[in-house]
């Protein structure tokens, strides 16, 4: 199929699969496990790549790990496509079918690829329009990867990420910076502090609820002991 789509005489197309494939040109099929760092390194070293399509396990952890390993090997202006992003919406504990002869994967709920790239549109692509204090935040992927993402496109069940072309100009400062936000970052700090306070209040409320439940259980057991004649008075 890909040979029919990429018809340029210099096009080189490779596939990767966790299961060794037979009856196919084995020189073009690389056996690799998305959850194995060395296998991903092997794919990275096979590059550079103009286009990478991740239609592998669809496990969010694998999708994010593979992106971090292979996006640096994408050529400037190239595309990285993640298919099967539906699994980021699945409930924790859902079972994802593995390859033939391999066990199921369990959705942990700890990695959300869709949410991660939504954050990228705000904190990476539009970073020059944001307050200075955002530059001090931890990178989403890595410093190098964050600096070379130029667009993120969401389509049904897939995400398309484009790498920064060589001739793309990134402006270090935004001419309307003072209009875009508080230069001192006060508003954003207050938002962070409010979120922290809300989280602390929720934790305190949960602790109080647990204490109340424990006290109620203790009273219930004491009442049961009295009713059962286990409580004796001594003269």
What average pLDDT does this structure show over 162-168? 86
pLDDT tens, 129-148? Answer: 666 555 567 789 998 999 89
What average pLDDT does this structure show over 149-176? 83
Domain boundaries in the chain? 2-182, 185-235
pLDDT tens, 44-63? Answer: 888 899 999 999 889 999 99
Q: Which two tokens stand for residue 23?
A: 């009856």
User: Does residue 215 or residue 180 have the better pLDDT?
Assistant: 215
pLDDT tens, 15-47? Answer: 787 777 665 666 777 788 888 888 888 888 888
CA distance 235 to 226: 17
The structure tokens 């109620």 sit at 216
Under the banding of pLDDT at 50, 70 and 90, the label for residue 64 is: very high
Would the pTM count as exceeding 0.95?
Answer: no
Q: Find the range with the poorest average confidence among 120-124, 148-152, 178-182.
A: 178-182
Determine the pLDDT at residue 204: 87
Measured CA to CA in angstroms, residue 192 lies from 14, 62, 104, 119 at distances of: 46, 30, 39, 16
The structure tokens 């942990």 sit at 108
Q: Are 61 and 108 in contact (CB under 8 A)?
A: yes
SS3 45: helix
CATH of domain 2-182: 3.40.50.150
User: Does residue 99 or residue 105 have the better pLDDT?
Assistant: 105
Pairing outcome for strands 29-31 and 15-17: parallel
Measured CA to CA in angstroms, residue 208 lies from 134, 135, 139, 176 at distances of: 35, 38, 36, 48
Element at 177 (helix H, strand E): helix 177-180
Which residues does 229 contact at the CB level (< 8 Å), separation at least 6? Answer: none
């Amino acid at each position: 199929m890909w040979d029919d789509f990429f018809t340029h005489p210099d096009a080189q197309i490779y596939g990767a699969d966790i299961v060794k494939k037979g009856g196919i040109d084995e020189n073009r099929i690389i056996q690799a496990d998305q959850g194995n760092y060395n296998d991903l390194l092997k794919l990275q070293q096979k590059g550079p790549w103009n286009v990478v399509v991740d239609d592998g396990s669809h496990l969010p952890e694998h999708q994010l790990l593979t992106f971090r390993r292979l996006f640096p090997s994408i050529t400037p202006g190239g595309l990285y496509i993640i298919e099967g992003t539906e699994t980021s919406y699945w409930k924790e504990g859902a079972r994802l079918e593995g390859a033939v002869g391999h066990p199921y994967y369990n959705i942990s709920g700890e990695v959300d690829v869709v949410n991660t790239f939504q954050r990228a549109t705000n904190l990476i692509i539009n970073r020059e329009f944001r307050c200075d204090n955002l530059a001090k935040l931890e990178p989403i992927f890595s410093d190098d990867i964050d600096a070379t993402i130029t667009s993120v496109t969401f389509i049904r069940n897939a995400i398309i990420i484009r790498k920064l072309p060589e001739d793309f100009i990134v402006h270090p400062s935004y001419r309307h910076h003072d209009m875009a936000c508080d230069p001192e970052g006060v508003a954003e700090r207050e938002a962070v502090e409010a979120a922290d306070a809300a989280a602390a209040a929720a934790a305190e409320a949960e602790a109080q609820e647990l204490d109340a439940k424990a006290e109620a259980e203790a009273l219930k057991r004491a009442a049961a002991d009295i009713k059962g004649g286990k409580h004796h008075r001594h003269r």
